[in-house]
Amino acid sequence: MRWRNTRTAATEVGWTGHEAGVDRLRASYAAIPAGAPVRLAKPTSNLFRSRAGTDAPGLDVSGLAGVVVVAPETRTADVQGMCTYETLVDATLPHGLIPLVVPQLRSITLGGAVTGLGIESTSFRNGLPHESVLEMDVLTGDGSITTVKPGEPLFDAFPNSYGSLGYATRLRIELEEVQPYVALRHLRFGDLEELSAVIEQVAGSREWDGERVDGLDGVAFSPTEGVLTLARWTDEPGPTSDYTGQEIYYRSLQERDTDRLTTYDYLWRWDTDWFWCSGAFGLHDPRVRRVWPRRWRRSDVYHRLVGLDQRLGIVARQDRRKGIARERVIQDVEVPVDRTGEFVRWFDEAVGMRPVWLCPLRLREHPETGARTWPCYPLTPGTTYVNAGFWGTVEVPPGTPDGTLNREVERIVTELGGHKSLYSDAYYDEATFASLYNTPHLDEIRRTTDPEGRLTPLYDKAVRRR
């Protein structure tokens, strides 16, 4: 079976290489002065919140960015915590295997997706990335590395802890079999309640119109225009589309009823244009796109450009000269499927940002045990949620208090029985945050694993930006 678009199979670092990376990590921990905060010395990040700087050295994770070993016979892989999903897929796809959930951006790391919350089109049947972890090694605040498994307190509290409980150095994950191609069907809706009803039906049956559904996501282009994309793995050969070239994937949802991609291109279909955010760099103009090197049409490149602008303040200075004020509204939120239309209509009126990504999810169902719950991001088993993702800036009246729109998003999501991921700006008061993310439970675990308080608590990270 020939896997198109894949690179040469990624080199596995092996157990000896992994232990060398762990030794380097331990040495860097020992070099951090007593009482100084413990943080990663990591050059890149997919977080969208700033934090206060520190002069203390960070943890050296440079030797923990690979795949230890892929085991096709058991459909598992041992993976280092700082390994990106791009590297991971390069190692597994030549075996006809992928992680159960592959977040949509190439540079997201496995450890980041587990301690944070990754999501993608297979989440309606496979849940979130942490639900396919069989065991992991975690460096805790006291400097020890502990192997933990599902059902143990540290393992179960790790998702959505964002480094406040430690950092995963190795994760053993489940893989699933895929075919070389993906057949897509785009279903269009003028009514979001009808779209939500189809999501619920597909999430329950995992099929539509007699055809299996392996991946499910969508886009609300407006409150009266939504598209659901139903994906099916297939080995049927045939022509495929290329959205790393001149064509732009999200526009195809409004132009085509069906489509075909290689599996590799399907996994990264959103990354080339960072959903639709590449338009901010002129890449939706064919003239610009033709001269922009293909290797630079990647979300991590755009992210670095955004970071450079934030450091230099170029756009901010231009806005000040024009008398314009903006608020950054970059969030992913989950709301129950039957409240999706209500949320999108509210968001469109209150914030006015289009489009909005829609990605259904359910907690993963295990044949023997059913769905498991996670104490620091409590979703209800058997309930279908829809992740609404929106990324951009919004013009606001000069003098508007910081975070005004983001606070409103937090309020309405809570009212609708939803939850918000914490990779970006958060504004909750401490009591509300504790009730939503169960920080007393995190603190209880920290008293054992981090008695000197070397790691930054979750509220301080997410809201105080420390």
Q: How far apart are CA 79 and CA 169, in angstroms?
A: 8
Q: Indicate the pairing of strand 258-262 with strand 356-361.
A: unpaired
Question: Are 68 and 106 part of one and the same domain?
Answer: yes
* Count of domains forming the chain: 3
Output the pLDDT for position 46: 53
Question: Are 174 and 186 part of one and the same domain?
Answer: no
Question: Are 43 and 142 part of one and the same domain?
Answer: yes
Residues 6+ apart with CB under 8 A from 162: 115, 116, 422, 423, 458, 461, 462
Strands (E), 115-224: 133-139, 145-148, 167-177, 181-189, 207-208, 211-212, 215-222
Give every residue of the chain whose pLDDT is below 70, as ranges: 1-10, 42-56
Average pLDDT for the chain: 93
Contact 337, 385 (CB under 8 A): yes
Whether residue 196 lies inside any domain: the answer is yes
Q: Where among 210, 235, 270 does a domain terminate?
A: 270
Residues 6+ apart with CB under 8 A from 245: 294
CATH label of the domain that carries residue 337:
3.30.70
Question: Are 200 and 224 part of one and the same domain?
Answer: yes
Whether residue 9 lies inside any domain: the answer is no
Question: Are 399 and 366 part of one and the same domain?
Answer: yes
Question: Are 170 and 194 part of one and the same domain?
Answer: no
Whether residue 283 lies inside any domain: the answer is no
Question: Are 159 and 238 part of one and the same domain?
Answer: no
Whether residue 301 lies inside any domain: the answer is no
CATH label of the domain that carries residue 37:
3.30.465.10
Whether residue 434 lies inside any domain: the answer is no
Question: Are 53 and 141 part of one and the same domain?
Answer: yes
Question: Are 372 and 232 part of one and the same domain?
Answer: no
Question: Are 169 and 186 part of one and the same domain?
Answer: no
Question: Are 173 and 222 part of one and the same domain?
Answer: no
Domain containing residue 385: 313-427
Q: Where among 270, 300, 324 does a domain terminate?
A: 270
Whether residue 114 lies inside any domain: the answer is yes
Question: Are 422 and 350 part of one and the same domain?
Answer: yes
Output the pLDDT for position 313: 86
Whether residue 250 lies inside any domain: the answer is yes
